[in-house]
Structures are given as C-alpha cells and as structure tokens.
Amino acid sequence: MTTYTAIKSNGLARILGSLEVRMLGLALVLGVILSLLSPYFLTQNNLLNILDQSVVIGIVAVGMTFVILTGGIDLSVGSVAGLTGIVLGLALQVMPIPLAILAAAFTGGGIGLFSGVLIAVFGLAPFVVTLGVMAIARSLAYIFSGQTAISAIPYELSNIVYTSIFGLPANVLFLLALYALAWAYLTYTKGGRTIYAVGSNAEAARAAGLNVLFYSILPYVISGALAAVAITFSIAQILSADPLAGNQMELDAIAAVVIGGASLYGGRGSILGTLIGVIIMVMIRNGLNLMSVSPFWQGTAIGSIIIVALLADRLINWRSGR
Amino acid sequence: MRAGSKKDPQDMSVASESTVRQAMLAASDIAKRFGSTQALAGANLEIQSGEVHGLLGANGAGKSTLSRIISGHIRHDSGSITYRDKPFAIRSTRDALRSGIALVAQETSLAPDLSVLENIFMPEFGTRGRLSYSDLNTRAHAILSRLGHDHVLALDTEVRRLSAAQRQLVEIAKALALDANLVIFDEPTSSLSPSEVDSLFDIMSRMRNDGCGLIFVSHRLEEVLAITDRVTVMREGKTVAGNLDTSGLAQGDIIRHMVGKDLGAIYARRDPVAPASAGPAVLEVRNLAAKPAVRDVSFAVRRGEVLGLGGLIGAGRSEAVEALFGLRPRDGGTIQMHGKDINPRTPAEAMRLGIGLVAEDRRAQNIVPDFTVKENLLLAHMGMRNGVGLGYGSRQVKITELLTRLGLPPDRLDTSLLTYSGGMQQKVIIARWLLVEPTVLILDEPTKGVDIGTRSSIYAILRDIAEQGVAVIVISSDFSELLGVCERVVVMSDGLSIADLPSSVLTEEKLTLLAAPRTSTERNVQFLQSVSKEFAGTAFWALLGTEELICLGAVSSVDAPEIDLAPGQAARNDQTAIPQALAKRESRFVPEPDKAVATLLLPMRNKRGHDLGWIGLSVRNDRPLPDADEIAIRVATLTNAEAPIGVDQ
C-alpha cells in the first residue's frame, strides 16, 4: 500500500532508481567506514578478494532475482547447489570437464523445471514447493555422495577460477558478464519484460497475450541451473565436492535481492540492485573478518544491517509518499 | 412523508387489512455521499413486522447502499431512521445484530472451513464465557426446524462443502440465532436454481408468519411478485414509489417506476428497422457456453458495426466475452471468424486471430502497475510479437499518432500509469489494443469509473474505429450509453442471449424489461421449443397489454406459419399478424380472417395470480387444430411447478 502511494507521488522510474542509488550510497558509506576501521580494507588485494567472494552468492542471486521478480521464491537453491556439486564431482570421474559441468547445470535446471511446473501449472505455493525440493535435494546429495565429500576433483577445473584475463580472474569476469547479460535480458527482451509483467499483474499479462505460464516456470529453471554453475566455481576453488555445500545459501541470496530493492510481491526490482546487494553483504562479512570479529557475531551484524537498511528506505518512502 | 403516504389509496388498503400493524423501521430522507458520488438523496423506506418488503431499482439506484446503512455496514450522512419507535442508534454491524437487524448478502459472509454449527453461532464466539456445544446443538436444531430444514443439514458439515442454497440457509440460521427480526436479503436468489428459490421463499414466508420484517432486494420481477407484500422502488438514490401493494402491481408498473417514464411511450414509435450495415458477419458466436455464468449465447457482429451486449450486472456478459477471448474455458458452442471456425484457447491465440479485449476491471485485468505508461501501452504489442526483442522502436510513429488522436500527453510516457486519472488510464488501455489493429475489438464497460469528458471522447473513439472497419462490441450496464453508442443490442439475462434488436427500436425501458432476469426463462423456452415442434407451429411467450405486447421468447418449427414475432420485439396488437387472437384471448384457437393461421393464447400465472405473461401457439388453419384443452393443462402444469414442492404448512 505504502509502496503504491510512493509510486504515485514520485514516479516509478525515480523510485526504482532511487532505491538502487540509496543502496549504492550505503555500499560506499560502508566502504568508507570499513576502510577507516581497517587499513587492509582498501587494498587492491582485498578489493579483488571481495569480488572473488561475491562470485558464488552473486551467481545464485541472479537466479533468485528472476524468481522473486515473478512474485515467487526459491528456497531450494542451497540444496540444489549441494546436490549438483555432487553430480559434478561424480561426473568428473567419468567424463571431461565441460561435459561434467553441463551435466551439473542440466540437473539443476531439471530440478528447477520440476518446481516451476508444480508452481505454475498446479498452482502450488512457491514457498512450500521449494521447501520440499530443498529437503529432497539435500537428502539426495548425501545419498549420491555416500555421506562424504568427493575430493578426487581434477586440478584443471581450477582454471575456470584462476585464469586471468585483462588482469581480472576468470570467475569475477564471468560474474560481471552474467550480470550484464541478465540485465540486458530483463531490460530489452520480450521474455525479460514478461517476467516483470507476470510478477506485477499476471492477469493483465495473460489478457494481453503474454505467455504467463512459460515465464512463470523459466525463472525456476534458470535459478536451478545457476545454482549448479555457482557451486562449480566453489568446487573449482576448494577442489572438493561436499554434500553439505551451499547450506543456507538461499538466505544470503534472498537477502541480497531484497537489499537490492526488489519487492517480494514481484514486479519490482533490478539486476543492478541485486549486484549492489551482493557486494554489500560480502563487504560486511569481509570487513568483520578483517577486524577479527567472531564469526558468531557476523550473523547479527548482517541481519541488523539488512533490517535497518530496509526500514530506513521504508521510512523515507513514507515521508515522501504522503 | 408518512402523512403524505396516508393519502395513497394503496397504503390505506394495507392499513385496513392488517390488524394494528405499525412500522418496525422507518427511514426517511436518507442521504449518503461517497466521495464525489451522491449515492442516496431522499431515500425513504418503511418496513412493518410480518411483511416481505421488496426493494427495487435499476443498477446503481441505491438499494444496496440503503441496505448497508440499515444493517450498520456504513453510516448515513443525513436523514432520520426510527427503529421500533426509537431513533436508530446503529453504528456498526455488531450494533445492528444486537438490535436484531441482519443482512443476508449475495456473497455470503461464512467461514468456509468451519462447520455449519460454528458458522451459525459465530457472532457468539466474540462474547465472554464458555459456550456449551450441546446447548448450541439444541438451539441450532430448533432454528433449523423453524426454517423447516431440521435433519436436512448436518450441523458438523464444513460450510465449504455446501451448495449455494445451503449456504444461504446457514446465513439465515445465523441471523435467526441472533433473534434477528429485521432481515435484509440482498439478491438472495441469483445463484439459486428454481426449486431452491421455492424453498427459500418457503423459509421467508415462515419467517414472515413469525412476525419478522423482511426486505427483499432483487432485480427479478417474477420473484418480487411471488413473495413480497409491498414494494418500494428507488431510482438514482431516491425513493420514487413507496409502499406499493404488490397485489395490485404488474411487471410493467414496476419497470415504469424504475426507469421513470411511461411504459406506453415505447410503443408509440415503431421506426422501420434500418437494414443495419448489410455486410457479412466478421465474428459469429453460436450457442456459446462457459458454465456456470454463460449458458447459451449467440450473436454476430459485422465489419464497421458497433454491437452492444446489454444486461444487468451478473448476466454473464463479461464471462461470455472472456470465454470468446480464451480467458476462460468454453463448454460448448461455435465461433466463426470470416465464416471459418476458430477455437482460441488462450488470449494470445485470440489476438493472432484479430480479436482484442479491453477487460472490465481496469486495475486487476488491464494495468501492469510497475510498468511505465509506454510499457503498458505496448503490452499487447509485446504479446503479439514473435521474436526475442521488444520492437518498441518500430511502433514509435504509430504511438505518437495514437496519443495525439486520443488527446494523451506524448511527453509523459516514462511515468507510472498509476499517476494518470481513471479516464486517461482507460484511454491508454484502449490505445494498447488499437496499436495491434484488431479486426474485432471488445470493450467491457469502457466508461466505468471515467469522468464525463473522457466518456464522450471514448464514444468518439469507438465510432471512429468502427468507421475504419473494425467490428466493435461494447458491454455496458448503462442502457442509455448502450443505445447511444451501438447500432444493435444483444440482450443477455442469466447467461442466455434473449434478444437481438437494432437500437432504433429499443428504449431504456424496453431494455430494462428484457434484461430483467426471469427464473422461468429457460423452462419456458424449452416449453416453447417442444410445443412448436410437436404442433408444427410458432410458439411464443409474451407480456400482453390491452393495446400492445412485448415478446419474451418465440420459437418456430420448420412448417410454421409466419407471424413475425421475435424475442424482445414490442408491437401494437393491431399491427401484428394475429390481431384477432390478441383481441379475443379465448381459450381456443382463434383464426385470423384473411390468413391461414389460428392462434391459441393461454395465460401463465403464479400461485398468487400474478401475470407472468402469455403462452401463444400459432398453427396453420388448413389442417386439423390441436386439442386446446390439452395444451392448456400443460401450460398450467408449467406454472404449478413454481409452487413449492413438499411444503408442509
């Protein structure tokens, strides 16, 4: 309700823009504070480190953005990452690296298709479906892995992370390219705009001849496949596939998307906002690590910042909206 | 007001026949304003105990607003209400229930997951103290037996598993559990089958005999005549006729009060029917069904024509066009476009075939709130488009041209559509469809919530696009708008298309009379079909006045004599093909002097003797005539079926 009043007075473009701008401002303020608190923060190594740490969660957050834009939610990404990691680990024993990565991505996409069909065709609640899939995927990950991590990962896989192009590591370049691609898709294609329209008013979208069914399912497929891609980058770094990997990754991804200004009711949000959200999250964690804050306090810190940031935004909207 | 009404002879008769009846509730000069709309001004209503009082009026006359004021849902701005000789002090529904006033609404207020018993006593859950279930059980049985339905309805059934009629029964029981003695029924019969209506009326007469005052809000004139003792008619927020005695009323009287003009006026003019654009039909719909709202709808629209779909709210018009457009599944019927069968199952398919639909609910079905004006404008374009990109650029010239034509600001395309006024939003939605250049454009209530200025420019747009060769279909509940804009009107009622007439022979009054839903329509038309087939004649159902008739249904068999009567047609008796029969109205076949046709006319009456119209059968005179008495018995059986079945008084 309040968001609509805000739109009425300010105009849609301004609100979308301004939330991103505000969050970008928050990121800069955090950066300044952290660089004052820790001399190591603003070093080139550390900044590259932040980007590197953003890769896995950043990739998952792209899929999550697609899902949340349609008004859905995908709680299964963490478990799907765990399961597809195991699939990758097993596939690497029998096939070349590119095929193994494809196998993992197809597994993730297939699981997303399953959730998407249940949600869009049978009208089940996204929360419940993906909660169920989350449990199934994690359990299958344990069964397929035999309850232990697969450490026989070929060393060559790490090339997808450590190959340097134009002075940037390949995984960071991949992340930036993925965001550019997702942004272009959501902004300039029929499919991308349909995803927004489905989340904003599915009935109107259907009445205007848009393929609501297809574009309600597609985001879950993308989300599942990207979970597999994300865990591939993670495995490439640690050269081990753990059935427990990706635990609670969905919460980080959802938090990043929400910090980036997306509405959980769908229709509103941007891929650029999500990138800023991811960086804010990683930056906080990185800064706290630099200051040697106990990892047990980090959850409190990140949770508080999410809540305070969103509350501040809502209060600003209230004031300007009335 | 009361002093004035005492002079009314009809009011006198009520007063004399009843023993010391006094008004239970008297509302006078009630006014209520919603924003800029004056919903009520000068509304009066007087209810006595032990009566069923009909509250009638066209769409938007203020019946519901008045009902909601009396039941405490909203508060009136001015005017006085006395309830049981005390000033009305009801400020909430809770107050109303405590004083014994209950509203039984069309959409029931029951909790679907709770049992019948829990629903009946739901208001008591809000009171302090423990409730004894065995006590409630006994009371529920007492209430249901008072309604004549004990042991018919299991008290532990979940309400979601009940039929519409059973839910209504629970709603009534809920009112009785609170000792309500003034109960308002707002369109209670619209979702009920004829036999369920009978059993509801049975319950209502029991309540009346127990001394309750009942208000019956309805569009259904047959039912109003069947159950009410007195009626009050409202028009444009005002009471135009108060406390009319039902026994002295005919359908025509009520319509006359509802539309405020003399019914006779509609017969004065019988313009020659203009051969409306004689081109072939672009879109032809036959026997379309999408249950439950759409049962049998047929119409055709030609190139360059503006066709109206008229009827009351709930007649199934929106549902019919949504079924046509692929927005809801169809159960039957054929759709032809340019003479070829089409079968659109989704809006996208319908659009590719050249159909466009401006849906009724602007906010829910048309606007994408998070999109800019431009993206909303281009939504249907995007839906039509093959390929990956948006193709917005290619439409820029066309957009600018359209915006100028529609008088919309071309420089505000990047703002939210929600910043536009209702009228401008509607224009943008219409422009959305014009942009994809449909062959058939359907507009469902295009001027709903739109200011007067925009209204006339929307009418101009409609005429404009029709002139460019688009076949336009307009749905509207505003009959004067329909007659002003459309060349031809198809009237729908209760999911059936019942008349198809050029606007030139229609008036608001005639439309109102035709659109009034009749519970008996389907049964009567079936009867006409069987009779016409059996006796190779033309069977018709008409309201007969002394000078004129309105035909409500007509069916001809292959071999039937031509008597030139079509549903919805109004004619002077002496100008029809069967003047002799209409003048004599004897219970035998009356031959016309110079034609080879004989006609039998039989009256249909409800059990209280009200005229429900006449059934006529015209057959050829040159062969043996059917047995008039046998047909008379069948007509009598037909109306007797309206009497409650299994009523134990």
pLDDT tier, A209 (very low <50, low <70, confident <90, very high otherwise):
very high
Segment B502-509 mean pLDDT:
78
Segment B434-456 mean pLDDT:
85
Would you state the pLDDT for residue A2? Answer: 34
Query: In this predicted model, which residue has the larger pLDDT, A79 or B266?
Result: A79
**CB contact, 8 Å: A299 with chain B?**
no
Instruction: Provide CB contacts within 8 A for B382, sequence distance 6+.
Output: A190, A193, A194, A208, A210, B390, B391
Would you state the pLDDT for residue B649? Answer: 32
Percentage of chain B beyond pLDDT 90 is: 18
Would you state the pLDDT for residue A118? Answer: 97
Give pLDDT tens digits for B329-382: 999 899 999 989 999 999 999 999 999 999 988 888 999 998 999 999 999 998
The tokens of A146 are what? 């035999």
Query: In this predicted model, which residue has the larger pLDDT, A226 or A47?
Result: A226
Tell me the three state secondary structure of residue B189.
coil
Query: In this predicted model, which residue has the larger pLDDT, B408 or A185?
Result: A185
pLDDT at A76 over 60: yes
Segment among A104-108, B180-184, B485-489, B604-608 with least mean pLDDT: B604-608
Contact B370 A196 (CB under 8 A): yes
Q: Where are the beta strands (DSSP E) in B532-572?
A: 538-544, 548-556, 570-572
Residue by residue, what is the 3-state secondary structure of A208-253? CCCCHHHHHHHHHHHHHHHHHHHHHHHHHHHCCECCCCCCCHHHHH
Minimal C-alpha gap between A59 and chain B (Å): 23
Would you state the pLDDT for residue A17? Answer: 52
Domain that holds residue A79: 2-321
- CA-nearest residue to A198 within chain B is B368
Percentage of chain B beyond pLDDT 70 is: 89
pLDDT tier, B513 (very low <50, low <70, confident <90, very high otherwise):
confident
Domain count of chain A? 1
Q: Which residues from A are below 8 Å from B364, CB to CB?
A: 201, 203-204
- Please tell me the distance from the alpha carbon of residue B567 to that of residue B321, in angstroms, as a whole number: 22
Contact B419 A189 (CB under 8 A): no
CATH number at residue A154: 1.10.3470
Would you state the pLDDT for residue B400? Answer: 87
Segment B50-59 mean pLDDT:
86
- Please tell me the distance from the alpha carbon of residue B160 to that of residue B313, in angstroms, as a whole number: 25
pLDDT at B324 over 60: yes
B422-459 residues labelled b (16+ CB within 10 A) or e (exposed): ebbbbbbbbbbbbbbebbbbbbbbbbeebeeebbeebb
Segment B413-425 mean pLDDT:
83
Minimal C-alpha gap between A264 and chain B (Å): 13
- CA-nearest residue to B323 within chain A is A207
Domain boundaries, chain B: 23-259, 281-515, 521-640
Residue by residue, what is the 3-state secondary structure of B626-647? CCHHHHHHHHHHHHHCCCCCCC
Would you state the pLDDT for residue A235? Answer: 96
Minimal C-alpha gap between A13 and chain B (Å): 7
Q: Which residues from A are below 8 Å from B346, CB to CB?
A: 206, 209
Contact A188 B384 (CB under 8 A): no
Segment B519-524 mean pLDDT:
78
pLDDT at B452 over 90: no
pLDDT at B275 over 50: no
Q: Which residues from A are below 8 Å from B416, CB to CB?
A: 7-8, 11-12
Q: Which of A201, A206, A264 to mutate to test the interface with B (most CBs of B within 10 A)?
A: A201
Q: Which residues from B are below 8 Å from A193, CB to CB?
A: 375, 382, 390
**E strand or H helix that includes residue B97:** helix B93-98
- Please tell me the distance from the alpha carbon of residue B42 to that of residue B232, in angstroms, as a whole number: 13
Would you state the pLDDT for residue B108? Answer: 65
pLDDT tier, A56 (very low <50, low <70, confident <90, very high otherwise):
very high
Right CATH for B521-640 from 3.30.470.20, 3.30.1180.20, 3.30.450.40, 3.40.1180.10:
3.30.450.40
> What's the whole-number average pLDDT of chain A?
89
User: Which of B366, B371, B390 lies closest to A188 in CB terms?
Assistant: B390
- CA-nearest residue to B362 within chain A is A204
Minimal C-alpha gap between B371 and chain A (Å): 8
> What's the whole-number average pLDDT of chain B?
81
- Please tell me the distance from the alpha carbon of residue B292 to that of residue B191, in angstroms, as a whole number: 10
**CB contact, 8 Å: B375 with chain A?**
yes
Give pLDDT tens digits for B572-630: 788 888 888 888 888 888 888 878 888 888 888 777 777 778 888 888 888 788 888 88
pLDDT at B265 over 60: no
Question: Of the segments A127-136, B280-289, B339-348, which one has the largest average pLDDT value?
Answer: A127-136
Query: In this predicted model, which residue has the larger pLDDT, B564 or A85?
Result: A85
pLDDT tier, A319 (very low <50, low <70, confident <90, very high otherwise):
low
Give pLDDT tens digits for A165-196: 888 899 999 999 999 999 999 999 999 999 99
Contact A210 B368 (CB under 8 A): no
- B281-515 shares the fold of B23-259: yes
The tokens of A75 are what? 């709680």
Would you state the pLDDT for residue B645? Answer: 36
Question: Of the segments A29-33, A219-223, B418-422, B534-538, which one has the largest average pLDDT value?
Answer: A219-223
Segment B219-232 mean pLDDT:
86
Would you state the pLDDT for residue A322? Answer: 35
CATH number 2.40.50.100 given to B281-515: no
pLDDT at B648 over 70: no
Contact B383 A201 (CB under 8 A): no
- Please tell me the distance from the alpha carbon of residue B66 to that of residue B68, in angstroms, as a whole number: 5
pLDDT at A14 over 80: no
Q: Which of B321, B366, B368 to mutate to test the interface with A (most CBs of A within 10 A)?
A: B368
Segment among A91-105, B264-278, B325-339 with least mean pLDDT: B264-278
- CA-nearest residue to B436 within chain A is A208
pLDDT at A1 over 50: no
Query: In this predicted model, which residue has the larger pLDDT, A98 or B552?
Result: A98
Give pLDDT tens digits for B196-220: 788 788 888 888 898 889 999 987 7
Minimal C-alpha gap between B112 and chain A (Å): 20
**CB contact, 8 Å: B348 with chain A?**
yes
Segment A25-48 mean pLDDT:
88
**CB contact, 8 Å: B416 with chain A?**
yes
Would you state the pLDDT for residue B555? Answer: 85
Contact A208 B347 (CB under 8 A): yes
- Chains A and B form CB pairs within 8 A to the count of 97
Minimal C-alpha gap between A281 and chain B (Å): 27
Q: Which residues from B are below 8 Å from A201, CB to CB?
A: 364, 367-369
Segment among B39-53, B307-321, B440-454 with least mean pLDDT: B440-454
Tell me the three state secondary structure of residue B356.
strand
ipTM for the whole predicted complex goes beyond 0.90? no
- CA-nearest residue to B367 within chain A is A204
Contact A206 B327 (CB under 8 A): yes
pLDDT at A240 over 90: yes
Minimal C-alpha gap between A10 and chain B (Å): 9
User: Which of A11, A190, A201 lies closest to B368 in CB terms?
Assistant: A201
Would you state the pLDDT for residue B277? Answer: 46
Using alpha carbons, select from A198, A229, A174, A203 the residue that is nearest to residue A52: A174
Segment B449-462 mean pLDDT:
79
Would you state the pLDDT for residue B3? Answer: 41
Q: Which residues from A are below 8 Å from B388, CB to CB?
A: 189-191
CATH of domain B23-259: 3.40.50.300
Would you state the pLDDT for residue B251? Answer: 78
pLDDT tier, A18 (very low <50, low <70, confident <90, very high otherwise):
low
- CA-nearest residue to A184 within chain B is B389
pLDDT at A109 over 70: yes
Minimal C-alpha gap between B352 and chain A (Å): 9
